[in-house]
Chains A and B, each alone.
Chain A
């Protein structure tokens, strides 16, 4: 059975304190791994798609990387506006569904 596990469940950082969020996955055949950001009471906002091990994507202070077993979302010099829940999801062969982890709740304090 496909599984996605995110850690830590919650993370508190001071503004400017860089860190990484982890997404471990077990799938029979990976089509893609996706990162989303979700603000309270809103729908998830798409951030990145990663297709194969070794791939990296960047957007502003965020950088996503992928290995054969896990993905990391690195946050460099975070700001309070980066506070949100970050969700990881995998899409496995041969289906269309995204299998989501429970997310990491990030709080960045001034």
Chain B
């Protein structure tokens, strides 16, 4: 069966510091991978998605970036965090092709102070 891991589970970072969140998927090959952010009082917002190694699409302009160095690894980064980057970050995977469910990881709670 497929499993998805995210770490760290919680993170408290000062404004202006860098960020690296990691997501890995087990039990599937060539998945589509997604990064979402869930802020208080708002719905889940898609940040990035990837349909293959090195292929990244950005949905929302911001100071975040994403990379996919391996088939089942997805990384979310920032060079300098802003207060507005605080939120619950969720990684998800889905099988390739049209109309596929997305399955979410446990999430990372990021607080920027």
Residues of A within 8 A of B49 (CB): 96-97
Q: Could you say which of B46, B99, B106 contacts A97, with CB atoms under 8 Å apart?
A: B46
Closest to B46 in A: A97
- A49, CB-defined interface residue at 8 Å: yes
Number of A-B contacts (CB under 8 A): 52
- B44, CB-defined interface residue at 8 Å: yes
Closest to A6 in B: B43
Q: Could you say which of A42, A43, A49, A103 contacts B101, with CB atoms under 8 Å apart?
A: A49
User: In the complex, A89 Cα to B43 Cα: how many Å?
Assistant: 10
- B7, CB-defined interface residue at 8 Å: no
Q: Are A31 and B99 in contact (CB under 8 A)?
A: yes
Q: Could you say which of B43, B46, B51, B105 contacts A101, with CB atoms under 8 Å apart?
A: B43
Per-residue interface assignment for chain A, residues 16 to 45, with 1 indicating a CB less than 8 Å from any chain B CB and 0 otherwise: 000000000000000110101000011111
Q: Are B44 and A96 in contact (CB under 8 A)?
A: no
Q: Count of A residues near B, CB < 8 Å?
A: 23
Interface residues of chain B: helix, strand, loop or mixed (majority): strand
Q: Count of B residues near A, CB < 8 Å?
A: 24
Q: Are A43 and B46 in contact (CB under 8 A)?
A: no
| Chain B proximity of A27: nearest CB distance (Å) | 13
Per-residue interface assignment for chain A, residues 65 to 109, with 1 indicating a CB less than 8 Å from any chain B CB and 0 otherwise: 000000000000000000000010101000011101111000000
Per-residue interface assignment for chain B, residues 82 to 113, with 1 indicating a CB less than 8 Å from any chain A CB and 0 otherwise: 00000000101010001101111111010000
Q: Could you say which of A36, A43, A96 contacts B107, with CB atoms under 8 Å apart?
A: A43
Q: Which residues of A does B touch, CB under 8 Å? A: 4, 31-32, 34, 36, 41-46, 49, 51, 87, 89, 91, 96-98, 100-103
Q: Which residues of B does A touch, CB under 8 Å? A: 32, 34, 41-46, 49, 51, 59, 90, 92, 94, 98-99, 101-107, 109
